[in-house]
Chain A
Amino acid sequence: MQRPMTRFVLPLVSLALLTACPRPVDRVTIHRVVDRGRHVGDLGEACALGSSLSIPLAAAGTRTRPPHKALVVAEATAGLCPEGAAWEFELTEARLRARLADDPTVAGQVRDAQLAARREHSLAADRFYKAFQHTEAAFGDVGEGCPHLNDDESFVYLLGMVSGMLAMLHDGQGGGQIGVPLDTLAKVSRGATCLDDAVWWSSPMALSAAQGATIPGTSPEGVDPWAQLETAATAGEHTGVRVSRALQVLVAANAGREDVVRSGVLAHGASVQATPRDNEWALLDEFARSVTGHQADLIWTKSLGYRAPAFGTLPEPAAPPPPTAADPFSADPFGD
């Protein structure tokens, strides 16, 4: 029996080697690989698949005409590997930082975890940015008008928008090593308006609010980007694909809005209990869960030193000490 990854990779690699035309590769990737892969709620498998496909796919077609749409999918999923690794180092850093006050000698270990996280953030930024660049190569400049998109292409375009946003955030966290242009988020916010909220679980609405929430004052007049993010997140939760909630949590975490992160974590947890996952898009709902889950893990780790024991929960604030009751033994019944 073939392992799932081999099942996806072998036909594509064969196709990539046999053809110099990007279109069939794009078609097979979107119709076959995406169509099956989106049902798999396993980020590890998705990122391994993306990592293994990106080079053979880039080799398909000609140097000037690679299969851009297929590469959007491959690079975006490949970005999940270093993203997960960066998050693990962030948790290590948070755990060690909490000990700094009592033991300054852990500063070196904190620095090491911080540097390791930055490397992984840079790698993630590189892969997500490649996905965004392939999106622009396939569909034209993002944010400058809307391309004509069929249903399959809409998904690739959405993936490209999410990748652009993630590329910018990861590059910033990695120290700007990749040089993702700082207008990428503004482009994504405009480009997302080309997509239908009703089809894509209100995630386009969340993406279009991201720029305004990140840089106060840049929203269109009369639009409250934080209210827009909450509207998108709530609408998306009822679909069982909670990408817009995760985007809200991600933007809020970057902007230091811990109140929004906390309410987002709890809402995401409640939604998982109330609305079953849409298995057609299990991969994206799992991605959303990982984004929110990481922010919850950070809160737990900073507070108690360990990650969230259950999804969608937050540590209870420390209970005040109980009032001092009168000592029943003050008049010692065993005394003289």
Chain B
Amino acid sequence: MRIAKTLLAAALTVATFAPSASASAATICLYDPAGKSGDYYRLVSDFALDTASWGTTIEVKAYTDEQTATKDYEAGACDGVVATGVRLQRFNNFPSTIEAIGAVPSYDVLRGMVRTLATSDGAAKKLRSGEHETVGIIPVGAAYLFVRDRNVDSVPELGGLRIATMDYDKAAPVMVDRVGAVMVGADLGSIGPKFNNGDVDACYMSAPGYKPFELEKGLNNGKTKGGILRAPLAQGTLQLMIRHGSFPADFGKRARGWFADHFDVALAHVLKAESEIPASAWIDVPPARVAEWDDMFLGVRLKLRDDVGAYDGQMLTVLRQMRCQADGARAECAEKKE
């Protein structure tokens, strides 16, 4: 009895003085091009507030340089990172394949995929890769092709054009090669100046980048009238990746649910930015040419899946099913190459 009392006292002493598991906050390094005044910093700060009630305290650290944010995550300076899917591709290409070229033609399909990833146990397993786990996907807008000459709206017309592409994007060289264009390496910051100065003939960007990079200068360049092809090349996303062991076991599932629930909050910023682009800047692609673009996109995806290994086959299959669910008349629905 006396021994039991002593053990109980010892246990209580340890319980009283041991630091609580939640006492130190986990750090998330977040890339937002607008820093602390950005929409994504605000969204993830709201997320961090809600996780406190789950017993997980998070401190959000803003970065305007995506590469530095990712490097700090790799170096262990933070327990999680928010960066674009393409930047996180090398950790796990399953979630980054959601950004596959031409794979998500509408925000409805994207919303459906984000919800599926939040609820599917099978997907949950694939969202883990070693110590890394993807626990949130935020839409940042469809990437559109900006051309300095608005007469360019078909795949053959891209031949010979200089296209600014992200240095770390594995898909870009394959696409550029397939259409016979010339790749000009760039990063997010230099795409705008290169396009506006005429160093490239085309670039791709989502609508929230239109104003900050002043892309209207490249569209209204004095020589030819440019435009934006209203056909999404790919969906840009920011993804929250964490070091699994630094968070409670059920954190990933709860976090994915939170981001799926807040999908439309983030999308509202994108839709607002798209609505602020003058109607005259858009180029509507005729349906016959849309099929031509889709065919080119499919070829690029298959190469990136089979030869480069940049895309995850299972993700491509589910995306194809979702596209066909939205529009069963698509040619690919019968072919089932993905």
Contact = CB atoms under 8 A, between A and B. Distances in A.
Nearest to B23: A101
Nearest to A111: B49
Interface stretch (A9-17, A126-134, A170-178): A170-178
B163 to A, nearest CB: 17
A300 B20 CA distance: 23
A254 interface: yes
A213 B61 CA distance: 17
B190 A101 contact: no
Interface residues of A, number: 31
A183 B35 contact: no
B22 A255 contact: no
Contact of B24 (A101, A110, A214, A253): A101
A202 interface: no
Given A101-B23, A214-B64, A215-B189, A256 B53 contact: no
B220 to A, nearest CB: 13
A217 B64 contact: no
B33 A215 contact: yes
A254 B189 contact: no
Contacts of B189: 215-218
A186 interface: yes
Contact of A107 (B53, B64, B208): B53
Interface in B31-83: 33-39, 42, 45, 49-50, 52-53, 55, 57, 61-65
A175 B214 CA distance: 21
A186 B212 contact: yes
Contacts of A253: 36
Contacts of A182: 34, 208, 211-212
B49 A256 contact: no
A114 B192 contact: no
B25 interface: yes
A309 interface: no
B52 A100 contact: yes
A216 B65 contact: yes
Contacts of A170: 37
B65 to A, nearest CB: 5
A211 to B, nearest CB: 9
A327 interface: no
A255 B52 contact: no
A183 B52 contact: no
Contacts of A185: 212
B193 interface: yes
B211 A255 contact: no
Contacts, number: 96
A332 interface: no
Nearest to B189: A217
Contacts of B188: 215-217
A194 B188 CA distance: 28
B35 A255 contact: yes
B212 A215 contact: yes
Contacts of A186: 212, 214
B261 interface: no
Nearest to A213: B64
Interface string A176-216: 10000111011000000000000000000000000001111
A102 interface: yes
A104 interface: yes
Task: Indicate the member of B20, B23, B38, B187 with the most A CB atoms within 10 Å.
Answer: B38
Contacts of B57: 100-101
A229 interface: no
A173 B35 CA distance: 10
A173 B37 contact: yes
A186 B196 CA distance: 14
Contacts of B36: 172-173, 253-256
A142 interface: no
Given A172-B37, A217-B189, A255 B62 contact: yes
Contacts of B33: 215
B76 to A, nearest CB: 17
A169 B41 CA distance: 13
A216 B37 contact: no
A65 B272 CA distance: 32
Nearest to B212: A182
Interface string A122-159: 00000000000000000000000000000000000000
Given A255-B35, A256-B61, A218 B24 contact: no
A254 B35 contact: yes
B23 A214 contact: no
A168 interface: yes
B211 A183 contact: yes
Contacts of B178: none
Contacts of A168: 37
A186 B35 CA distance: 15
Nearest to B208: A182
Nearest to B216: A183
Interchain residue pairs A-B with the least CB separation, the first 4: A217-B189, A172-B37, A256-B62, A182-B211
Given A102-B23, A171-B37, 14 more contacts: A101-B24, A101-B25, A107-B50, A172-B37, A173-B42, A175-B39, A176-B269, A182-B208, A186-B212, A215-B188, A216-B64, A218-B192, A253-B36, A255-B35
